[in-house]
Amino acid sequence: MEKLNSKIKLLFFVALIFSIMLPVGILQIIFGAINNITPILVLGIIFVVLGFYGTPLWWINYANKKRLKTVLNLILNEHIYSVSELSEQLSKNPKEISAIINQLIVGGYLTGYLFKNNETLIYNTNQPQTKKNSLKSKCPNCGAMMESNGVNFVCEFCGFVKEKSE
């Protein structure tokens, strides 16, 4: 949730800056034209163009991230894992909710869950490998890398077994 919150804050700040650029650019154009100051006039034109075209794009991007946060909040805090329940709660089309969940997963905002058949979220029971349980050693017999099975190191090529010495 923290990753998404920081992205939302950044998008809000950028959208706000672009929103301010439009009126500031208009004032710069007026001031630059009246006082015949070309750099201020050019900067004003740039600000107006960026503000005019950029402002709606940044605010739409911000709103889309807020929509993701709403769904993520329902999943993490309200423990609603079904697309049908989420769509009822938010009065949205189930296909739209599935797309939002996929965006959350792809964006790395929703981790530790599996999205089964684009219908239900379930906890991912596969434990990620940590440094401790994925230790490797070089096989003294054939030179291949051996992986730990939790108790010993086993070479998958020649079958050599080496005791772990921790």
Where does the pLDDT of residue 29 fall: very low under 50, low under 70, confident under 90, or very high at 90 and above?
A: very high
Integer CA distances (angstroms), 45 to 18, 59, 98, 116, 129, in order: 13, 21, 42, 51, 55
Considering the domain 127-166 in this protein, what is its CATH number?
Answer: 2.20.70
The count of other CB atoms within 10 Å of the CB of residue 20 is 13
User: What is residue 132's predicted lDDT score, i.e. its pLDDT?
Assistant: 44
Residue 120, pLDDT score:
85
Two structure tokens written together for 69? 């946060």
Helical ranges in 35-165 per DSSP H: 38-76, 83-90, 94-106
| Domain limits, the chain | 2-123, 127-166
Torsion of CA 94, 98, 100, 105, to 10 degrees: 160
pLDDT tens digits, residue range 73-125? 898 888 888 899 999 989 999 999 999 998 898 888 888 888 888 788 887 77
